[in-house]
Amino acid sequence: MLDRREQAVLARFCEAVVPGSSPVAMSYVDRAADADAVRAALDVVGPHLPVSAKIEDTESFRYLRNLAIEAFYGDYAPPGHDPAGHEVIGFAPPQATRLRKDWSFLDTPPPPGPAPRPEPAEVVVVGSGAGGGLIAAELGRRGHDVLLLEAGGLHPAEDRVRFELAARHQLWWPVLHTGGDEPVALLAGRCVGGTTVINTKVAMRAAPFDVARFATETGSRLTLDDLDPWYEKVEHRLGVRVRDDWTPSVHRVRTGFAALGAELDPVRSYTDYTCSRCGSCTTGCPTNAGRDTLNTYLAPAFARGEVRLRTHTTVTHVTLDTSARPRVTGVGYRDRDGTTGTIAAEKVVLAAGSLGTPQILLRSNDYMALDTPSTRLVGTTLGLHPARLVYGLFDEPQDCHLVYPITAHCLTHQEDFVVEGTTIQEPVSFAAGMVDALGRPLWGAGLAAVARDYRRFAGLLVMANDENTGVVGVDPSGATVITKGFSPLERRRLVDALTFTVGVLRAAGARKVVWSGLSTSHVQGTARMGADPARSVVDDRGKAHGVDGLYVGDGSAVPASLSVNPSLTIMALAAMVADNLAGGLS
Ligand SMILES: Cc1cc2nc3c(=O)[nH]c(=O)nc-3n(C[C@H](O)[C@H](O)[C@H](O)COP(=O)(O)OP(=O)(O)OC[C@H]3O[C@@H](n4cnc5c(N)ncnc54)[C@H](O)[C@@H]3O)c2cc1C
């Protein structure tokens, strides 16, 4: 609970940074934020009010700005106040207007009773996203005893509504930022189905030049011919189809691409023909038209009793027997109430995503004590496929929040960057990501003016290729540290990508162009696959070099950062890993 002086400083800050937010921000911050963290941030920003350039780029400024944005553009309404943010920007999708918002997710839930201790398993799969969901279901289908451990909860489509803050709380990991040259927001899902539940479901196979890099980076012997059958199986299961149902906003920006001599093509995606183009993808598809690993692979497996699921279980480390040739013996985990335990398993598949899997390995004393070239590589080759959203303001409403967000892409410059559209983020993400021309978070009247035009912006997502130069580490206190330094080539690509996309929107008739800071939805490559143990963590079939029974089956294994959306390749590799693993089980 903040004292009166602190409340006054907070109210002044919120109103200056997000005009209109002060009536609701106090109650929101009280419910949603940690008072000590707020106090520490106020100590930094307080002496510089009204806001000065000295604090604009500080962590404290970003933290408090985000809270004010969540309160206002998240449409929060404490008793006695009407919500205002959505009305100001004209955000009124049918699903959100008929929604009676229940904000109880902001309150700390009572601690759950102790969860039952899990039985040992033949195979423990850690993480239920693109890779882990598929592997658990495939092994279960073949009759193996599979226990699937997931840090998040089970939230099937019938529980999902277009309620951004609730979705961010229930389906997303808290958004972290990289340290290093320039902050990159890291976006990922935390629920059964993982990031596939909140993604936009574009289905791309790797380009031949992407797969050629596998060999140069890690000595991988995988070829596109090896991957083809796995791609086919996954595409069939997901019902991949062409999305040529372009809305007027796509036709509008197409003229800009054509003016710059570039092509705009329909994407392929794993969305059903029943997709109502409601724009809810990143808050979880409410109709199951979006085909995530929960509704494709896992739900049938659960229904048939082929996979045991344990939610809200965070795996902390793997255990090994190193008395002879190292071999996995199980995992250590932590429950929601802080209880810790271990589970014995013959095989362990790590599929906790490209940020989660390396952290588990780095916290595994038995594994790190092996001190081999492979163990020393863990986490050091993070690929981000860094992206930004570039928005063009048009005279007429574009309503890009009411479309399937990615129906078209431009691959003309694929060796450097790819552009997708048309889209706009949900109001909180939109406002929070917005930066000024110098890359500083936008605030005050500038932010309010941009947000007011929400319905008239058409957005393009531009993703630049990268060279796996990020690092996921764990510091001596046990805290996660994620850093990214950009190479000159990566910098050039980012500049070219932005220049091109701004040019497209201007050529399409945009009156004004604004953009977001960098973010990534495509983390990859932190426990890479390859034939050379000095340059990879697992072999070409996903088995850890030098350790029996330990596998990696998620985006971490991708040998070199892809130029395309990665989930189809992650699933193709996972299908291959599952097949290999099943072959080695009795
Ligand atoms: C907004 C957004 C849009 C995207 N759009 C597309 C797209 O259109 N096309 C595309 O190809 N890709 C897209 N992606 C990326 C794609 O969804 C991911 O690349 C893919 O899901 C990654 O698969 P994964 O198995 O590596 O990890 P995830 O799918 O992230 O699954 C990892 C799972 O492990 C769990 N976990 C993490 N740590 C632990 C732990 N310690 N213990 C237990 N469980 C743990 C997580 O909660 C999560 O459920 C998008 C991503 C985002 C964020």
Regarding the beta carbon of 151 and ligand 1, being less than 6 Å apart is answered yes
Query: pLDDT digits over 33-67, tens only?
Result: 999 999 999 999 999 988 888 898 889 999 999 99
Domain count, the chain: 3
Domain harbouring 510, CATH code: 3.30.410
- Look at residue 99 and tell me if it is in a domain: no
CB 387 within 8 A of CB 515: no
Residues 314 and 193 in one domain: yes
User: Coil, strand, or helix at residue 471?
Assistant: strand
Q: What is the CA(306)–ligand 1 centre distance, in A?
A: 23
Q: What is the CA(366)–ligand 1 centre distance, in A?
A: 27
Regarding the beta carbon of 200 and ligand 1, being less than 6 Å apart is answered yes
- Look at residue 225 and tell me if it is in a domain: yes
Strand order in the sheet with 480-484: 179-180, 480-484, 470-474
Grade residue 586 by pLDDT with cuts at 50, 70 and 90. low
- Look at residue 370 and tell me if it is in a domain: yes
Q: What is the CA(188)–ligand 1 centre distance, in A?
A: 5
Residues 401 and 540 in one domain: no
Residues 387 and 262 in one domain: yes
Shortest-distance Cα residue to atom 50 of ligand 1: 199
**What is the Cβ-side half-sphere exposure of residue 567, based on CA atoms within 13 angstroms?**
29
Residues 204 and 325 in one domain: yes
Give the number of the atom of ligand 1 that is nearest the alpha carbon of residue 360: 41
Shortest-distance Cα residue to atom 9 of ligand 1: 202
DSSP 165: H
Residues 333 and 412 in one domain: no
- Look at residue 234 and tell me if it is in a domain: yes
Which among 567, 569, 577 is the best mutation to test ligand 1's pocket, defined by most ligand atoms within 8 Å of the CB? 567
Residues 455 and 309 in one domain: no
Which among 126, 175, 186, 199 is the best mutation to test ligand 1's pocket, defined by most ligand atoms within 8 Å of the CB? 199
Amino acid identity of 506?
A: R
Q: What is the CA(526)–ligand 1 centre distance, in A?
A: 14
For the record, the structure tokens of 456 come out as 């008239």
Domain extent, residue 51, equals 4-89
CB 528 within 8 A of CB 536: yes
CB 380 within 8 A of CB 437: no
CB 360 within 8 A of CB 136: no
DSSP 338: S
Query: pLDDT digits over 113-155, tens only?
Result: 788 888 999 999 999 999 999 999 999 999 999 999 999 999 9
R_g of the chain computed on alpha carbons:
23
Query: pLDDT digits over 240-278, tens only?
Result: 999 999 999 999 999 999 999 999 999 999 999 999 999
β-strands 265-269, 550-552: how paired?
Answer: unpaired
CB 547 within 8 A of CB 519: no
Give the number of the atom of ligand 1 that is nearest the alpha carbon of residue 523: 19
Segment 533-546 mean pLDDT = 98
Rounded-to-integer distance, Cα 24 and Cα 76, Å: 7
Give the number of the atom of ligand 1 that is nearest the alpha carbon of residue 282: 1
Give the number of the atom of ligand 1 that is nearest the alpha carbon of residue 293: 29
Regarding the beta carbon of 201 and ligand 1, being less than 6 Å apart is answered yes
Grade residue 15 by pLDDT with cuts at 50, 70 and 90. very high
Query: pLDDT digits over 325-381, tens only?
Result: 999 999 999 999 999 999 999 999 999 999 999 999 999 999 999 999 999 999 999
Tokens 């040259």, residue located: 181
